[in-house]
Structure 1
Amino acid sequence: MPANFRPTVIAATVALLFPAAPLFAETLPPGTLTVTADAMDGQMDKELKARGNVVAVRDDQKVTSDWLDYYVDKGELVQAGDRVQMTQPGSDIVSRRLDYSMQSRQGEADDATFAFNQGGGVLRGKSEKLRILGDKHYELGRTTANTCDPGDESWYLKATTIDADYRSNIGVARNARLYLGGVPVLYTPWIDFPLDGARKSGLLFPTLSTGSNGLDITLPYYWNIAPNYDATLFPRYIAKRGLMLGGEFRYLQPGYTGTLYTEQIEDKETDTHRYLWKGEHQQQLASNWSWGYGGSYVSDNDYFDDFSDRLAQVSSDNLERQAWTSYNLGWGSVFLRAQRYQTLIDDARGDLIPYARLPQLQLNGGQALPAGFRWQLLSEATRFSHPDLQEGNRLMVYPQLAWRADASWGFVEPKVGVNYRRYDLDAWRYASDPTRQVERSKTVTTPTFSVDSGLYFERDSEFGGHAHTQTLEPRLYYVNIPYRDQSALPNFDSATTDFDWTQLFTENRYSGWDRINEANQLTAAVTSRYIDNESGLERLRVGVGQRFYFEKDRVTLPGEAERSRDNVSDILATVGGDLTRDWRLDGAIQYNPEDSRTEKYHVGVYYKPAAGKTVSMRYRYDRDEQVTINGQTFEYPTRQVELAAQWPITRQLYGVGRVEYSLAAKQAFDTLAGFEYNAGCWTFRMVGQRYLTDIDEFKTGVMFQLELKDLSSTGSVADKLRLAIPGYSKTNE
């Protein structure tokens, strides 16, 4: 007789006589079975029969039923009916009949309804024959299942079997059909999926879209190679182009990480082999030494136009490739890299192709010194290569010394520096005069001096009926850089920067090191802020500033006109802030006081009262903006409106949209519209888009995404909407 049989019968008998007896089970040793029922009989060493409102409990297992037979010599077998419910932690099974061993935790349930919540996700449904194969392991025969709330069958899997093994958190469905709204939409003879939402090898649901290339279907396969390695393979059928094969490999180790991505296609429309390669690697060789590489390369200039939507296209006509290494010195760092670009412009002019840096060596650093002083060093030595333009070497060394004094009421920071540049150029003849050769060696030494200073004032105030702190922050920034003739220097990497609020407080109006402007100038600006005392939010920020020139700047880039005004710059003003928790504002304006006209401005208003509710409007004006499209540069006035929104139409249906409309050209450059339907258990998104790819050339497409709760998603529409609509949020998060 099993050691625990006698306490079992005693507990059952006491429970029959005294309704409060189940409390007695708490004092029994592990493995003891307690039974309560309206009536019980049986032989103590063989079997027990219970009838009417039966409740049987053994450790964390509980069975309730109309009747129950218990057989000790059959491994503590329980046979129960007509209405049976068996519960364990994370498991609830209701069935017509149960045959189950409470000792081995194995058995079968007929016509069962189940709900499993053991791996972080919920799996529920019905099964004609549910086999319990041990602790946390189930086989569901002739079953329908989903991850929805009880009673929600908006989607479900119908399979011959589903093997749900919560020990490995893997589910395997065989001969499975996916039903949406009661309609079968997908069949697979075999599919496995994670029961806890973790990564798991197997087929993913397909991605579907349609557009200028016709029907576009991708069927991804995810391969979870190891906890720190995985890969995704995705055959993609494009009706007008053919079959594309793609893949992504990712790796992660304590000392390094990286990705490798490729797409390959025999394009039947162009009758050529086309491809994309993209990779990135970062590795820590020591605590202060690292290296890496990264970049992209495509087979031809039109690759992204033909195979990507606008939001996924690269933002530049130049694809970067580089390899680098960096060493931390404590007080600074050494950085070495080789860098070049692939230019995606047909017959591109030389000035549209960036120089390659083969190589570039940088030594940068700085340290605080006693009494508020600080030194800083910027330096680099670079070899510049180009297929069409002047090539050569450039050495730049820029030591600086600054002193800063801070107080609660303000600050002052004077700074001095000396910028030294040396050029060693390759042989080169001027196109306009082939007999004239450039100077092979050039040096330029430019001293710099600046003083940055500001004051802080604040007072108690009210804004929108709430207590705020209002600040007043005047600032003066003086720069003096003597003139150095740089007209004979090549332009390897310099360009004019936008005249904006940040540039007001920058000593050089050029990026790069080939041009350093002449300066004897003073920036005067003032900023005022309203800061909420309770939340700390900046409710409103207003700033206005202007630069005053005491001498003319004679430094220019090739083709750049000299500054037309000698004494003052345009006036800049900015405004922004979180007006309320729902409303946000930002804007800026550049005003020409000499000609009494506005050069450019933008203003944006954003409203987001809750997740899934956002509306934004932005207007941008530029009197003469230069735009380069496919290597051609145009100058025209910009008057552009951008509208974007995500808003509920009904409780479950959301509309999404975005439009960029040019008032000058009287046409929309980019239009996106669609909807999201959140059924709770699944979410469907469909978005159509029409956008400009070239001069008077548009591309259209329709994208789809289906997300099944706790199971899987297809497509990347939500990611694109995040880029297109400010404040967008997924409705099922």
Structure 2
Amino acid sequence: MQINQLIFSLFAILPGSVWAQQVTSCPTPIEGFVADEDILQDQIRVSANRADIQRNQIAQFDGNVTIVSDKSKIEAQSATIDVPNTQLTAIGDVTFQDKLMVVNSKDVLLNTDSGKLSMADTNYQLTQFGGRGAADRIEIDQNQGVELQGVSYTTCPVGQEDWKISASSIGIEEGELWGEAYNTVFYVKDVPVFYLPYFVFPVSDQRQSGLLFPEITTSSATGPSYEQPIYWNIAPNFDATFSPRFMSKRGTQIKTEFRYLFDQSAGQFNVEYLPEDREDINQADRYFYRYAHSGKLAKNWQLNIDFNGLSDDNYIVDFGSDYYNRADTHLYRTLGINYYSQNLDFSMNFRDFAVIGDHPANYRALPEMKLNYQTDKFSGLEFRVTSELAYFDNQQEGEPKATRFHIAPSLALPLRSQWGEFLAEATLLNTYYKQENVAGTQLAEETNRTLGQGRVFGALFLERDINWLGEQQTQTLEPKIQYLYTEFKEQSEIGLYDTTQLLNDFNGLFRGQEFTGLDRISDNNQVTVGLTSRILDKNSREQFKLSLGQIFYLEDNRVEAASKNDDRSALASELDWQIGSKWFAHTELQLSTKTDKVERSSISLEYQLTDDKILQFNHRFVRSLSGEQIDQFGITASWPLSTNWHWVGRWYKDLSTQRTIESYMGVQYESCCWSFSLVSQRHLSNRFDAQGMQNTQEFETSVNLKFSFKFTGSEARSGRRKMLEDGLFGYRQAYLIN
């Protein structure tokens, strides 16, 4: 048993989740003891200015005495080893050090036979957890445990003790997970604010049941709110967290989380329940549940479950969620079984949804099975077969239903080298439908669609040395071209079950399909041209990348959903640029070459001086999305105000409606031993009315307050990063060097 185990556990008298936090020492880390590999177990090495040794009796050492074993080191002005009485005594500015702590004491008495260690008038500092304190006396017995008298603990610097803990007596028995403390007092600025005559606390870094840090918030939806998580360590592979949340406007909500972990599977079950919501006209009960599981069934077989549900459309809007946000329109309910091997993979999924708001009911795939096979054992040719069998159901009465079977054999000739690649591919697409509830529609009860498709793709990778902004760099030139032909067949007699039109960014130009799913396969006779140029530094790190691409249609599309009124697609471009060492730019643009108008664009410019000095500008534009224009501009900033104070701010405006859609500001004070954060946020509430229509006029305002003592010198950046990423338009890095 080590003394540091005791001090590490003292913070358990107050709620805290610091077990999971990272640790930093403050102000200056102390190196832990590192044993000399030449010292054997139960062996000690003594060095001193003077030594007086009586054979097999007493050894006296004086002046700069150092006693080193394989586990610890003692430094003192003088030391005596009494062989007959198996005692070692060290006095005069004694320092005891092991891997996790350093103790300064007036004297140290060690029984070399029993291993019992006694130190008086001690001051200690932990090397791993950044804490320090004092004890009148420390008794360590390898067989019995540890006893401390008159002990204190803090993570604050010397002379700046904003808080500390003191106890008259603490005892820990060897092999126990819990210790006992008597007459414990918590001080803030030398003022006692909390007293416990007796309590037990964990003495190891194993998960222990207890209170976690609470969360105090207030918002226009809930009023002042206090959430207190309670953690239960049920078993090494089971745990649970219960979080009562007291909301002044709505009542008491219970949030629960149960987790399990086995050798080849893991899962989590969440239930949230609020009885008789006081803000609801009908005093309705409100709830949310979620079950997620991922595990191995057998060799190469995998099982995945993701099942969610809630009581009403506004649950996430009113109470928030760790798994969904306000923009989500569906909650997933999926059961999947998968098989993987080198050449063959199989999946069977049951896909269902819980619809949020007044959105069309999606088709459920109950089930959807896919079987894919590929091999390259045909003299360099690659043979591939993709197949699918699915049944689509809709909860909306009277909607068509369908069974769909699809198979697509493909034969390809791939050629690849360092300077380029070439691919020629031929595919036969065959899809059979059996449809129900088609009376009064143009859909056919049975239909079979067979299409041929051919694709030829080529790319070159060229490079040269250039001088870029005064530095020797490498520039690449990567032209690529693709010809795609897909024959036409009338498809209006097929319903739309899992099909939506895709947006074409630069990479999407070479995709060859304009829709998700299989219900619509566009006829193609087109050439796609693309060009990418990169600038790499001497370490092959990307400093600049520009991509341009466009599709040229040789014939008009005859599939109605894919028809075009132009002979070419919008010009798609992407730009990533590391401008010097501090500025980063990322843009995506789709420009109509017929009207010379921007169809879609996304621009992000970021200045990053350090990890916590960030300024980011964002603009997003979509000319038409579901009949509406999106034109939004935003600024995100993170900046230290002083050594201990940090500020995070964010502001987003809708330029189409000329109104602010989100404003966010947070300030945090962070010292070595405690932290405080205050966050204010205002954003669109997006509440649904009784008909499921979303209100885009009301705003919600909230204030979050967090205060915590750092019982282990916890990492400062975690709180700042959470503020930076929080909210509807949380920070995302604009550019990543590959």
The alignment's TM-score, normalised by the length of structure 1, stands at: 0.82
Give the one of 667, 679, 696 matched to 2:671.
Answer: 679
Alignment pair present for 1:245 and 2:246 = no
Distance 2:188 2:639 in 1: 25
- Contact 1:704 1:717 (8 Å CA) reproduced: no
Please identify, of 358-367 and 146-155, the stretch whose mean Cα deviation from structure 2 is larger.
146-155
Give the partner amino acid of 1:464.
L
**Hey, what does 1:542 align to over in structure 2?**
546
Alignment pair present for 1:192 and 2:201 = yes
Give the one of 495, 503, 506 matched to 1:498.
Answer: 503
Alignment pair present for 1:653 and 2:655 = no
Q: 1:515 to 1:437 in 2, by over 3 A?
A: closer
SS at 1:504's partner residue? helix
Aligned length in residues: 675
Deviation of 1:210 (Å): 2.0
Alignment pair present for 1:421 and 2:431 = yes
Distance 2:556 2:113 in 1: 94
Q: 1:410 to 1:92 in 2, by over 3 A?
A: closer
Cα offsets for 1:157-211 (capped at 9, x unmatched): 3344445679778666566455555566766663635655x53332222222222
**Hey, what does 2:724 align to over in structure 1?**
721
Distance 1:601 1:607 in 2: 20
**Hey, what does 2:386 align to over in structure 1?**
378
**Hey, what does 2:469 align to over in structure 1?**
464
**Hey, what does 1:12 align to over in structure 2?**
none
**Hey, what does 1:399 align to over in structure 2?**
409
Distance 1:225 1:95 in 2: 41
Deviation of 1:501 (Å): 1.0
Q: 1:175 to 1:711 in 2, by over 3 A?
A: farther
- Contact 2:65 2:78 (8 Å CA) reproduced: no
- Contact 2:443 2:492 (8 Å CA) reproduced: no
Distance 2:40 2:275 in 1: 73
Deviation of 1:36 (Å): 8.2
Distance 2:49 2:580 in 1: 63
- Contact 2:621 2:632 (8 Å CA) reproduced: yes
Deviation of 1:283 (Å): 2.0
Larger RCO (alpha carbons 8 Å, 6+ apart): 2
- Unmatched tracts of structure 2, length 5 or more: 1-37, 687-695
Cα offsets for 1:657-695 (capped at 9, x unmatched): 222211222222122211233323444333222221211
SS at 2:285's partner residue? strand
**Hey, what does 2:338 align to over in structure 1?**
326
Deviation of 1:215 (Å): 2.3
Distance 2:298 2:408 in 1: 29
Q: 1:174 to 1:367 in 2, by over 3 A?
A: farther
Cα offsets for 1:482-508 (capped at 9, x unmatched): 221111211000001112112211111
Deviation of 1:643 (Å): 1.4
Distance 1:726 1:613 in 2: 14
Give the partner amino acid of 1:377.
V
- Unmatched tracts of structure 1, length 5 or more: 1-25, 431-435, 627-634, 729-733
Deviation of 1:65 (Å): 7.4
Distance 1:604 1:327 in 2: 41
The alignment's TM-score, normalised by the length of structure 2, stands at: 0.81
**Hey, what does 1:689 align to over in structure 2?**
681
Alignment of structure 1 residues 70-149 onto 2, 5 Å: 76=87, 86=96, 90-95=100-105, 101=111, 103-106=113-116, 109-117=119-127, 120-134=128-142, 137-148=145-156
Give the partner amino acid of 1:531.
L
Alignment pair present for 1:287 and 2:287 = no
Q: 1:72 to 1:54 in 2, by over 3 A?
A: farther
Greater radius of gyration (CA): 1
Distance 2:323 2:191 in 1: 33
- Contact 2:431 2:449 (8 Å CA) reproduced: yes
Distance 1:500 1:91 in 2: 57
Distance 1:328 1:180 in 2: 59
Q: 1:441 to 1:90 in 2, by over 3 A?
A: closer
Deviation of 1:103 (Å): 4.1
SS at 1:721's partner residue? helix
Q: 1:353 to 1:63 in 2, by over 3 A?
A: same
Give the partner amino acid of 1:453.
G
Deviation of 1:307 (Å): 0.9
SS at 2:316's partner residue? helix
- Contact 1:172 1:193 (8 Å CA) reproduced: no
Distance 2:731 2:199 in 1: 38
Distance 1:56 1:540 in 2: 58
Deviation of 1:94 (Å): 3.6
Deviation of 1:92 (Å): 3.8
- Contact 1:592 1:599 (8 Å CA) reproduced: yes
- Contact 2:648 2:723 (8 Å CA) reproduced: no
Alignment pair present for 1:522 and 2:527 = yes
**Hey, what does 2:232 align to over in structure 1?**
223
Q: 1:274 to 1:539 in 2, by over 3 A?
A: same
Alignment pair present for 1:266 and 2:268 = no
Cα offsets for 1:209-262 (capped at 9, x unmatched): 222212222222223333333322222222222222222222222221222222
- Contact 2:122 2:134 (8 Å CA) reproduced: yes
Cα offsets for 1:334-386 (capped at 9, x unmatched): 111212000111xx25xx22211111111112222444321222211111111
Q: 1:582 to 1:462 in 2, by over 3 A?
A: same
CA-based RMSD = 3.8
- Contact 1:451 1:477 (8 Å CA) reproduced: yes
**Hey, what does 1:665 align to over in structure 2?**
657
Please identify, of 178-187 and 683-692, the stretch whose mean Cα deviation from structure 2 is larger.
178-187
Give the partner amino acid of 1:697.
E
Give the partner amino acid of 2:648.
V
Distance 2:505 2:579 in 1: 23
Give the partner amino acid of 1:525.
G
- Contact 1:64 1:86 (8 Å CA) reproduced: yes
- Contact 1:521 1:548 (8 Å CA) reproduced: yes
Give the partner amino acid of 2:245.
R
Greater share of residues in strand = 1
Q: 1:39 to 1:493 in 2, by over 3 A?
A: closer
Alignment pair present for 1:453 and 2:429 = no
Indicate the percent of aligned positions where both proteins have the same amino acid.
25
Q: 1:104 to 1:512 in 2, by over 3 A?
A: same
- Contact 1:421 1:444 (8 Å CA) reproduced: yes
Distance 1:661 1:158 in 2: 52
Distance 1:309 1:241 in 2: 17
**Hey, what does 1:637 align to over in structure 2?**
629
**Hey, what does 2:347 align to over in structure 1?**
335
Alignment pair present for 1:511 and 2:516 = yes
Deviation of 1:587 (Å): 0.6
Distance 2:153 2:456 in 1: 71
Give the partner amino acid of 1:199.
R
- Contact 1:53 1:64 (8 Å CA) reproduced: no
Deviation of 1:427 (Å): 2.7
Give the one of 484, 490, 497 matched to 2:489.
Answer: 484
**Hey, what does 1:367 align to over in structure 2?**
375
Distance 2:552 2:520 in 1: 21
